[in-house]
Every structure is written in C-alpha cells, then in structure tokens.
Chain A
Amino acid sequence: NAGVTQTPKFRVLKTGQSMTLLCAQDMNHEYMYWYRQDPGMGLRLIHYSVGEGTTAKGEVPDGYNVSRLKKQNFLLGLESAAPSQTSVYFCASSSGATGAGSPLHFGNGTRLTVT
C-alpha cells in the first residue's frame, strides 16, 4: 500500500548541476502534481498533469520541466539548479480534478539544497 513514492528523499546540488526527481503512484490516478514548499509560503504549484502524455504550468514553473510518459510516473527536472530552488518538493496525485472535489494524496517529499 505504497500510495505516492518520491525518490530521492534528500539531495544536495551545486549551482548549475541538473537532476530529476521521480514520483510514482500506484493508485491509478489520472492527475499528478509537483509542489514546492518554502517557509511561510505554503505550497506552490510548479507543474501538473491531467493524464498520461499531458503537462501544464502551475504558479512557479520557471527553471523546471516535467514529463508524464507513463500514467503512474511524473518526473520533475531541474536543468541548471540555482540556490533559489532550495526547497522541499512534494508530489501529489488525485483521481479527479480538485475542482470536482477530489483530494490530493501526497508523497513524503524531497529535500533539495542547492549550494
């Protein structure tokens, strides 16, 4: 009963390096999301996907790219990391749109530090 699994749990990058965060869900959910959490700012939506092969921009998409090649996976990429991307990243999934009342199911987060 894994739910939403994020890898890795922690990562330290140097400025300019690249990396990919992996999110996997086993609930057959159509919708997947990437959020970042910063102190005093709550969670902000980076990108989301409403189904396999689709992606869309959220509130803070700059500096990030995503892909949803398989329904169960949603990848978040940083092509050239910057210190401003130091944050805790959460992946979430839902069976339907939140605007239809479907709640989000969250992973346990990835803590990323960019030096």
Chain B
Amino acid sequence: AQSVTQLDSQVPVFEEAPVELRCNYSSSVSVYLFWYVQYPNQGLQLLLKYLSGSTLVESINGFEAEFNKSQTSFHLRKPSVHISDTAEYFCAVSEFGSYKLSFGAGTTVTVRA
C-alpha cells in the first residue's frame, strides 16, 4: 500500500533564505508524486507534480522538487523564500492505476522577515 512521510512538521525560515521540505514515500509499484500548498483558511492548490521524464520538476513560483527512485524521496526546495510562501505544504502519492491519493501529515513553513 502507498504511504507518505513528511520528515519535518514545522520549518521556520528567514526571508530570502533557502528552504527544503523532505518527503519520503513507500510503494511496491510505480507512483505519481505531487506537492500541494495550503494557504491559511483555503483549500489545497497543486504546486507541482512528477509524472515521468526529467526527475527535476519546477513550479511557476520558484519551487522545485527532485524525484529520487532509489531513495524513494521527492524533496521540495526553494532557493530564496518570500513572506508570501508562509503556508502548509503537503506531499502526496498515487500508485499507477489507483483512484486514491495519499497525503503526508504536512509541513508548516513560516517565513520571517
């Protein structure tokens, strides 16, 4: 069965500093991987996804994630964060052919000036 572990529950970071959010998944078959962001009092929005091809995927607002099959990881990074990046971030996995998306517990990123 598919599952996701986000290794950090809270990540405080200063504005313009880099940030990395760690995500490991477990599955016995091939998977699709997603990162979602949730701003306060809102629903989740897709940040980026890995389907196939290049293992490095990017979002339009400067985030990137790298799929590492051997380490079963899909860590999210941003080289320089803004105050507006303060949010909760969720890693999610779906096995090929599955109807279900499994989420990690989430990582709260707080960006301070």
Contacts and interface: CB of A to CB of B under 8 A. Distances in A.
Contacts, number: 71
Interface residues of B, number: 28
A4 interface: yes
Chain A: interface size category: 20 to 34
Nearest to A58: B100
Interface stretch (A14-22, A61-69, A75-83, A95-103): A95-103
B49 A103 contact: yes
B98 A106 contact: no
Contacts of A45: 100-102
A108 interface: yes
B102 to A, nearest CB: 8
A41 B4 CA distance: 11
Contacts of A114: none
A42 B97 CA distance: 22
Contacts of B34: 98, 103
A99 B90 contact: no
Nearest to B101: A98
B105 A98 contact: no
Closest 5 CB pairs of A and B: A99-B98, A106-B43, A98-B94, A42-B103, A98-B101
